[in-house]
Homo-oligomer: A and B are copies of this chain.
Amino acid sequence: MKSDSAVPPIDPPSLAERIRLEMDSFTPTEKRAAHMLLSHYPFAGLDTVAEFASRAGISAPSVLRFVTRLGFGGFPEFQRHLREELEAQLLSPLAKSSPSDRSHGAPALASFAESVIGNLRATVENIAPAEFEAVVELLSDQRRPVHFTGGRFTGALARYAESHLRIVRSHVDYIEGQPALWRDRMIEIGRKDVIVAFDIRRYQEDVTALCETAARQGATVVLLTDPWLSPIARVARHVLPAHIVAPSNWDSSAGLLLITEALVAAVTKRLWETAKPRMEAVERLRNEKP
């Protein structure tokens, strides 16, 4: 769950713009500073005061007076502003696109979808191939029991993963997050076991406790989380982070689902020799029921 209501919708006037407007009211050295900054905006401002001063051919104090004049409390504050402006500008192509550009499709749905797609792309970018492969390898080892778990929202994803993987291979189950429900199961968890935990912000203490306990007993922990990393990361062997920010009061789990499905697909492929007969057998059993 994220914080409350609206986000600032208006584009704040860029600092560069303001500088151009106030240019004539500057003193000569201030103008040199301003031109220097504008000519390599905003990178010229990201160095140190001394560097900035020397490039502009003026003294450090003059640079300080310049940024003070612009209304900043000091040079670090000025730099922070530049960074934030730059970051916002760089990320905007995703966020800004299509508030109302597609005429069909529900507008709310369409813009939400664009945002989610951005998350998926970012998620893929930030996952190390080796990490992903290692997890596939781990889940493909049929001698190692696999246990899925998750928090109040992400628990559903853990269930989703479990419901697929349990058909592909054996020794797959789902563990409820509440300590009362897993405490006694822990005696069975050991070095061979693999815990796959889903946990995103508003990290849940009980899930963390479960993983810590399991890790202490030698289990291998795999964590699917957000970019800020659940505390479980401390005990996790492998971490797969997904971007989750969406134009909603809630976080989006689409990235986690993507990773989950990709993992399941990869494991299924790797275990195909044994998975195929298994899946056929499951199908047969289901049809026998009536």
Contact = CB atoms under 8 A, between A and B. Distances in A.
Interface of A: 1, 4-5, 20-21, 23-24, 28, 31-32, 35-36, 38-41, 43, 46-47, 55-57, 83, 86-87, 90, 102, 104-110, 112-113, 116-117, 120-134, 136, 152-153, 155-157, 159-160, 163-164, 167, 227-229, 231, 233-234, 239, 241, 243, 246-250, 252-254, 257-259, 261-262, 264-266, 268-269, 272, 275-276, 279, 283
Contact of A257 (B38, B41, B254): B254
A5 B265 CA distance: 12
Contact of A153 (B1, B160, B241): B160
B112 A258 contact: yes
Contacts of A283: 1
Given A129-B106, A264-B248, A253 B160 contact: yes
B246 A261 contact: yes
A246 B269 CA distance: 13
A227 B36 contact: yes
B258 A116 contact: yes
Contacts of A152: 163
5 contacts: A21-B130, A57-B231, A109-B258, A113-B121, A116-B261
B106 A265 contact: no
A243 B39 contact: yes
A43 B83 contact: yes
A287 B40 CA distance: 49
Contact of A265 (B24, B86, B112, B128): B112
A182 to B, nearest CB: 17
A20 B128 CA distance: 5
A39 to B, nearest CB: 3
A241 B113 contact: no
Contacts of A276: 4-5
A254 to B, nearest CB: 6
Contacts of A122: 39
Given A156-B157, A239-B31, A109 B132 contact: yes
Contact of A107 (B24, B129, B243, B264): B129
A87 B41 CA distance: 10
Contacts of A116: 120, 258, 261
A261 B268 contact: no
Nearest to A19: B128
Given A32-B229, A159-B159, A249-B268, 7 more contacts: A39-B228, A46-B83, A106-B132, A117-B121, A156-B157, A250-B264, A253-B257
A50 B206 CA distance: 30
A32 B128 contact: no
